[in-house]
Amino acid sequence: PSGSDRDADGVIRIGGVSATALAERFGTPLYVLDEDDVRAHARRTLAAFRAAAAAHGVQARVYYAGKAFLSTEVVRWVADEGLAVDVCSGGELAVALRAGADPAHLGFHGNNKSVTELENAVDVGIGSIVIDSIVELDRLAAIAERRGVEQSVLIRVNSGVHAETHDFLATAHEDQKFGFTLQDAPAVADRVRAASGLQLVGLHCHIGSQIFGTAGFQESAARLVEVHAAIGDLPVLNLGGGFGIAYTSVDDPTPIDELAAGIIDAVAAECARRGIPVPNLAFEPGRAIVGQAGVTLYRVGTTKSVELGEGAVRLYVSVDGGMSDNARPALYGAQFSARIASRASGDEPALVRVVGKHCESGDIVVDHEYLPADVSPGDLLAVPATGAYCFSLASNYNYVPRPPVVAVRGGEARIIVRGETIDDLLSRDAGIPTKGTV
Ligand code: LLP
């Protein structure tokens, strides 16, 4: 939801529910997730990749990358829309299983999965595990052999393509922690094939996140196909996620069907050049499924003006959350937008910086935005596009409890993740004497 849908009183509605009603019932800050929007993005994304793959006579599977936002409800929504789920820790795996996901439709990633995590994944019958290192390869082979099973695996490869995004979000250039080089991949494949407990199903690559163009994906796909051809006889090629979304009006991501066709056509063209059949394809979007379906509601607590010189003024608008519920501006310099959610205002636009309540000057929610100059304490602010990597990156910095997540659909709202209380946080403090101790 863009947060631009308002009722007659000027109150923003999300999934048919008014922002003021949500704030009254559930408090602020509040993560609001529009179920229909998540489902629509899931459906559209799956349809786009399936159609692009079908044009070349192959299949495409879409894994929802759970790291973007994971709860049992969301797993059920995306599974219901036909998506598989990608997890990258034992905790994420537990959520997916608790949601009732079919283990065969789960993929498991990560550069340092523990022995326990690997054992557990093998034991529940996980669909595939992406092998990230030789140490892990040998570890997983031993686990599978001991259990007498054959675990399907993919090999994570760095295509060497440096995606044009924030450095922390780019993952496939060479000097970083994930995966194997293109040069090493064939030898790794031999080693997997020599392991009786492992079944090699394909290569995997992920070049980064919040990427707008298709060129980086196409270049990476072409390089992967070269290695895929050299290894021979692999049924799947997984090209990861990373499809960007619009956070502000200046963002202009490639539409998903264009992106899907662009990537898959590039794979097919490279396969044709090398005279090999097009493999089945897999993708792992996270942000593109949930990002725009989320809105965070905050209550304005204080405001102040700062003179910037030459008559310019910046209005600081402090809200009741901040970097603990949205770390992205502090971590990546990420940009968001904001609007007043609880009323319409015809006042002149003023340059505003929306800041949180944490004890750091980098605690910024929206770095620059124009809001009606009469924005005041008590107003509700809506910050759209917070569905991905906000809840999942949330912290308890300054002992601030993490907000609840509410799902809205057809005019109804319900809690899908309950908020924390200060007692929840205190319950972990082992220094507090309990009854029976002195
Ligand atoms: N597959 C793999 C192997 C990944 O590492 C990731 C994201 C994805 C898929 C999903 O990427 P997406 O489609 O959501 O871009 N915290 C950062 C993003 C980190 C992405 C980590 N890996 C942020 O807030 O921008």
**Per-residue pLDDT tens over the stretch 10-35:** 999 999 999 999 999 999 999 999 99
Asked if the model's pLDDT at residue 168 lies above 60, the reply is no
13-34+292-426 topology per CATH:
Lyase, Ornithine Decarboxylase; Chain A, domain 1 (2.40.37)
d(CA 395, CA 399): 9
Q: Which H or E element spans position 122?
A: helix 115-124
Q: For a pLDDT cut of 70, what percent of the chain falls above it?
A: 96
**Per-residue pLDDT tens over the stretch 310-328:** 999 999 999 999 999 999 9
Task: Give me the sign of the Cα torsion angle 93, 101, 411, 8.
Answer: positive
Q: Which residues contact 296 (CB under 8 A, 6 or more apart)?
A: 29, 30, 31, 32, 321, 325, 326, 382, 383, 386, 390, 403
A 10 A CB-CB count for 226 gives 16
Is 390 marked active-site? no
- Rounded to two decimals, the ipTM of the complex is 0.99
User: Is 330:166 a contact under the CB 8 Å cutoff?
Assistant: no
Atom of ligand 1 nearest to the CA of 68: 14
What does DSSP say about strands 151-158 and 198-204: parallel, antiparallel, or unpaired? parallel
pTM check: above 0.90? yes
d(CA 61, CA 176): 27
User: Is 372:350 a contact under the CB 8 Å cutoff?
Assistant: yes
68 alpha carbon – ligand 1 mean position (Å): 7
Residue to mutate, 287, 292, 331, ligand 1, most ligand atoms under 8 Å from C-beta: 287
Atom of ligand 1 nearest to the CA of 388: 24
Q: If you take atom 15 of ligand 1, which residue's CA is the nearest one? A: 242
List the binding residues for pyridoxal 5'-phosphate: 242, 284-287, 389
Torsion of CA 142, 147, 150, 155, to 10 degrees: -40
Q: What is the pLDDT of residue 299?
A: 98
User: What is the distance between the terminal CA atoms of the chain, rounded to a whole angstrom?
Assistant: 53
Q: What is the pLDDT of residue 172?
A: 61
Ligand 1 contact via 169 beta carbon (within 6 Å): yes
Ligand 1 contact via 61 beta carbon (within 6 Å): no
13 alpha carbon – ligand 1 mean position (Å): 29
User: Is 366:298 a contact under the CB 8 Å cutoff?
Assistant: no
Confidence label for 437 from pLDDT (cuts 50, 70 and 90): low
Residue to mutate, 108, 209, 247, 281, ligand 1, most ligand atoms under 8 Å from C-beta: 209
Q: Which residues contact 182 (CB under 8 A, 6 or more apart)?
A: 157, 158, 159, 160, 223, 226, 227
Ligand 1 contact via 208 beta carbon (within 6 Å): no
351 alpha carbon – ligand 1 mean position (Å): 32
Ligand 1 contact via 204 beta carbon (within 6 Å): no
Question: Helices (H) and strands (E) in the chain — how many of each?
Answer: 12, 20
Sorted by where each begins, the domain ranges of the chain are 13-34+292-426, 35-288
- Angle at the Cα of 25 from the Cα atoms of 22 and 29, rounded to 5 degrees: 60
User: Is 324:396 a contact under the CB 8 Å cutoff?
Assistant: yes
CA-wise closest residue to 379 among 5, 23, 9: 23
Residue to mutate, 61, 67, 70, ligand 1, most ligand atoms under 8 Å from C-beta: 67
Q: What is the CATH number of domain 35-288?
A: 3.20.20.10
408 alpha carbon – ligand 1 mean position (Å): 25
Sort 65 into a burial class: Cβ within 10 Å, 0-12 / 13-18 / 19+.
buried
**Per-residue pLDDT tens over the stretch 376-430:** 999 999 999 999 999 999 999 999 999 999 999 999 999 999 999 999 999 999 9
Confidence label for 434 from pLDDT (cuts 50, 70 and 90): confident
Atom of ligand 1 nearest to the CA of 328: 24
Confidence label for 174 from pLDDT (cuts 50, 70 and 90): confident
Q: Cα 210 to the chain's mean position, in Å?
A: 10
15 alpha carbon – ligand 1 mean position (Å): 26
Ligand 1 contact via 287 beta carbon (within 6 Å): yes
